[in-house]
Structure 1
Amino acid sequence: MLLVLIGAIGVQSSAAIAMGLFDALGVLGTSSVRMSIAAVILLAVFRPRLRGRSRAEWAGIVLYGVAMAAMNAFLYLAFDRLPLGVATTIDFLGPCLVALAASRRPREGLLAVAAIIGVGLMAGFGGPFDPLGLVFAALAGAAFGLYTLLAARIGQSEGGLPSVGLSVAVAAILTLPFAIPAVPLLEAQHLLPLLASAVLGTALAFTVDTMAGRLTSARVLGVFFAFDPVVGTIIGALFLGQLLTPAAVGGIVLVVAAGAGIVWSAGERRVP
């Protein structure tokens, strides 16, 4: 729980830092350059081996990198149009839907209805918020669902943290088409915020999430990811002035509670 909380604080605080670079580098340019910096840092720290890995291990590494790249790109596009708390709440639905898809019991269905009502409170009575921003957040959520499953898988594999470095390198390669055009736009004052954002929101966050995945299951990990919307709402209000209406806050609370309940309940095992 502590590791995931650290990751959530890192992701949301780095987003608040990076948003100040959107005008200069572009949304995708900022996200992609961060990813490249984080890849260099993690490869230097963990020095992962390239030989001796099975095809299945490489498939997991590449897929984890794809999930990282998609999640970051779409989430940052959502951050550009939505408050942090709203974007991360929609994003959190990804792990919830993964758990819901594996369940057939009425209890999870009722919790899903509660989560949908929470989304309605945010998007309707608590907004209205940018429709395209909501779409980007939903796409980020789809990638987040895959990320949740793979964080546990990679964390519990023999490769462990060195595999995370390779996955971030894969994500950096995939996002190079957006990073390369942003490089000529870099100025001296951009370097420190980029470095801080890359370390906090990418290198640190992906590392602690994978460490958490090594200690527990995807089910428990998905529940703990409910920290993200809460931390995003607090940081958005304190540092970005993104004050939400009571209805929107109520929607976030409803989605977080229902989503955590879905993930936990769907993972229960019946004792013979």
Structure 2
Amino acid sequence: MTTSSGAQRAVQRSARTNTVRAMLLVLTGSIGMQLSAVVALGLFAPLGVLGTSSLRMLIAAAILLAIFRPRVRGRSRAEWFGIVLYGVAMATMNAFLYLAVDRLPLGVATTIDFLGPCAVALVAARRVREGLLAVVALLGVALIAGFGGELDPLGLMFAVLAGAAFGLYTLLAARVGQSEGGLPGVALSVTVAAVLTLPFSVPAMPQLRPEHLLALVVSALLGTALAFTVDTIAGRLTSARVLGVFFAFDPVMGTLIGALLLGQLLTPVALCGVVLVVAAGAGIVWLAGGKRRTAGPPGSGTDEPAAPAPDPAS
């Protein structure tokens, strides 16, 4: 009995450790994504919003292909389906988010964008406590958006569309991360996104000047190559449901970076939202250690295996 209890505690510690690692990876990707958006804002005028987004994707694809050298042959039809769909989600999410950032404060755009992964976490919640934490994160996101003043309706629409793509991205980050394709599969997905956005990157190339290259490369490295890679690694460690809550870092980082680097100051209401979002993420981390128990024989009544398994929705 003592041995079984000790093994169960070890499983819980392992699950919690994996979840903490996933949280730190998502936080790293979130910081990179928001900093890259600040860098990219300066390129909107000469290259266009969609031109900037698509050129970033093209550069990131070249970098990831050079690093991972993914094989093309020998992949199953199901694996290619996931890779292509992941690329579609990447391209759509980035394009609509940049269109939103062009019209809205960074914190507001990323707040509305987070509604997609938050919906994933809410729909996939298996217990009342987890569902309540997703609701708390959603409430925090709503408070973060309390900048006041009128918001551009078209910008809001773009942010909602980015959120829909972000929800799909959340599901696929777990699916691709836990598949055999791994990070080489991410390189192929980014390549798919780059190909899909060629109608925007090719017309922008004549406007490209040497002084634009450094900003483009930095933005591509931080917001695309780094962010997509760490998100996929995080997807290997946990489920889409948990990732959906961790992506709450995006509005938090967007709000803080917008205040520090763009002069978009926080309101007291937004600060309360930051606290709620962080608290919800911490709660998910704590519960993650208790929700997995060692698997027993069929009919034993034990819970799911300790190793992170793909979320049913993914």
For normalisation by structure 2, the TM-score amounts to 0.77
Q: Deviations over 1:83-139 (max 9, x none)?
A: 111111111110111233345987778777766766665667723222221211111
Give the match for residue 40 of structure 1.
Answer: 62
Structure index of larger Rg? 2
Q: How many residues align?
A: 272
1:213 aligns to 2:235 (yes or no): yes
Q: Deviation string for 1:164-199 (max 9, x for gaps)?
A: 000000000111111111100001110000000001
Q: Which amino acid counterpart does residue 185 of structure 1 have in structure 2?
A: Q
- Kept in 2: contact 1:39–1:169 (CA 8 A): yes
The amino acid of 1:132's aligned partner reads L
2:87 to 59, 62, 65: 65
Q: Which has the higher contact order (CA 8 A, sep 6+)?
A: 1
The answer on 1:160 being equivalent to 2:179 is: no
Which residue in the other structure is 1:90 paired with?
112
Higher helix share: 1
Cα distance between partner residues in 2 of 1:235 and 1:24: 23
Q: Distance in 1 between matches of 2:273 and 2:66?
A: 42
CA contact (8 A) 2:70 2:185 kept: yes
**TM-score normalised by length of structure 1:** 0.88
Can you give the 5+ residue segments of structure 2 that lack an aligned partner in the other structure? 1-22, 293-300, 304-314
Looking at structure 2, the residues matched to 3 and 133 of structure 1 have their Cα atoms a distance apart, in angstroms, of 29
CA 1:234–1:82 in 2, change beyond 3 Å: closer, same or farther?
Answer: same
Q: Percent identity?
A: 78
Q: Which segment is superposed worse, 143-152 or 235-244?
A: 235-244
Residues 89 and 252 of structure 1 are in contact (CA less than 8 Å); yes or no, is this contact kept in structure 2? no
How far apart, CA to CA, are the structure 1 residues paired with 2:67 and 2:149?
43
How has the CA–CA distance of structure 1 residues 134 and 114 changed in structure 2, closer, same or farther, with 3 Å as cutoff?
farther
The equivalent residue for 2:151 is 129
* Structure 2 partner of 1:182: 204
Q: 1:150 to 1:260 in 2, by over 3 A?
A: farther
2:75 matches 1:53: yes
Any idea what SS the aligned residue of 1:50 has? coil
Contact 1:100 1:263 in 2 (8 A): no
